[in-house]
Every structure is written in C-alpha cells, then in structure tokens.
C-alpha cells in the first residue's frame, strides 16, 4: 500500500461529507462564534485517538497472533460493510445528546470522526507494514487535516451542496471504498494461498 492509497482510504472512512449534517445538528444550538472552535478542539481529540490506535493496534494484533492474510481478509469484509452503509443508508444515526451543552469528545470526536471504522482502518494499515509507521502516520495526519478543513467549513458546504449533494458525495465515496474492500479481500486470499 502506498502513501496516497492509505491517505485516500483513511479519508473515505473518516467520511467528512457524511458527517457534515450530523455536525450541524449537534452544534445547531451552540452560538455561531463558538462552533468553529469546538470543531477544531474535537478534531484534535479525534486525531489523538486515531494516532493511539495506529501505534498500539499492531501490538494488539500480535498478541492475538493475527496473520497478515487474515488481517487483509477481515479488513476487506469490514470495509465492505462500511461501504454498504455509506451507499445504502443516510448520513448516520442521530445521537442522543443534550444539544444545549457543548459537546466534549462525544459525539463529534468519537464516534463521528474517530469511529470504529476509522480505528479499525488505521490498525489494518499499520498491520500491513509496521516498519513504514511514519508513512502511515503522515497519511493519517493528511487525511485528518483535509477532513477537518471540510468540517470546519461545514456550514458553507451545506449551503453550497445541500443535503442531497452531501448524500451523493457520501455514496460516491462508498463506491470507491467498495473497490478498495474487494481488492483488500483478494490480496488477503492470495497471501493465504487460497487464491493463486
């Protein structure tokens, strides 16, 4: 896996366009002058959490004796499920939070940004080649930065694209993720000698 493919994969799984409506919903009762500061703070929390999973995930896998081939197969299945959700469902469930108070970590940082899909993806990427940890860390940082910029301008983006436009973008990213999931699954089968 290259730097670009890792960056694109992480960006797709972070799903910033799909998260825009949820961010706007959670922050709708927050004064407009505070919203951008909250988005920046929550984005940094998400980055810290994902970096922790990036660097500790491989030790968890090693302790479980998970092979690279089984990691590829499992990763393909997980990403396929995420892609199906992106293509065939709406932009996410509405979390039961008190919208009058400022959110802290939940739900913006976790699970909307650093959700189970993103955590699993960074573990899978690091598991592929731990010696290139700096490449994966840089890919995560760049994908997070692009995602954070999109979320920072979520109000403007919502006005520009509208709900249907954002949903169309999310479904397009789901289609791309489907192709990545299939390739990861095939690579895992080849490594396990099931598929020649």
pLDDT at position 100: 58
Q: Over 80: is that where the pLDDT of 99 sits? A: no
* Mean of pLDDT values over 88-105: 62
- Convert 23-60 to b/e letters by CB count within 10 Å (16 or more is b): bbbbbeebeeeebeebbebbbebbbebbbebbbebbee
Whether the CB-CB separation of 60 and 123 falls below 8 Å is answered with yes
DSSP assignment of 79-112 equals HHHHHHHHHHS-S-PPP---TTSPPBSBTIIIII
* Mean of pLDDT values over 113-120: 85
Identify the bridge partners of residue 104 per DSSP, sorted by sequence position.
106
Lowest mean pLDDT among 90-94, 175-179, 190-194: 90-94
Lowest mean pLDDT among 32-46, 82-96, 116-130: 82-96
Tokens linked to 99: 């919208």
Q: Over 50: is that where the pLDDT of 94 sits? A: no
* Mean of pLDDT values over 132-159: 94
Whether the CB-CB separation of 181 and 79 falls below 8 Å is answered with yes
Measured from the Cβ of residue 99, the count of other Cβ atoms closer than 10 Å reads 14
3-state secondary structure of 146: helix
Q: Over 60: is that where the pLDDT of 92 sits? A: no
Lowest mean pLDDT among 5-14, 71-80, 130-139: 71-80
- Convert 101-134 to b/e letters by CB count within 10 Å (16 or more is b): ebbeeebbbbbbbbbebbbbbbbbbbbbeeebee
Domain ranges of the chain: 3-191
Give this prediction's pTM. 0.79
Q: Over 90: is that where the pLDDT of 179 sits? A: no
Q: For residue 148, what pLDDT band results from cuts at 50, 70 and 90?
A: very high
């Amino acid at each position: 896996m290259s730097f670009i493919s890792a960056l694109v994969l992480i960006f797709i799984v972070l799903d910033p366009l799909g998260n825009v409506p949820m961010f706007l919903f959670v922050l709708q009762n927050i004064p407009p002058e505070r919203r951008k500061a909250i988005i920046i703070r929550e984005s940094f929390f998400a980055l810290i959490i994902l970096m922790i999973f990036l660097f500790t995930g491989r030790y968890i896998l090693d302790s479980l004796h998970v092979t690279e081939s089984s990691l590829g197969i499992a990763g393909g299945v997980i990403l396929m499920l995420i892609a199906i959700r992106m293509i065939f469902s709406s932009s996410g469930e509405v979390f039961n939070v008190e919208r009058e108070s400022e959110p802290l970590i939940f739900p913006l940082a976790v699970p909307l940004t650093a959700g189970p899909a993103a955590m699993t993806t960074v573990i899978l990427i690091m598991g592929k080649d731990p010696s290139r940890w700096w490449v994966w860390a840089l890919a995560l940082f760049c994908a997070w930065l692009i995602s954070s910029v999109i979320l920072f301008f979520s109000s403007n983006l919502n006005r520009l694209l509208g709900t249907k436009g954002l949903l169309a973008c999310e479904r397009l990213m789901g289609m791309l993720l489907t192709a990545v999931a299939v390739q990861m699954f095939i690579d895992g089968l080849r490594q396990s000698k099931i598929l020649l």
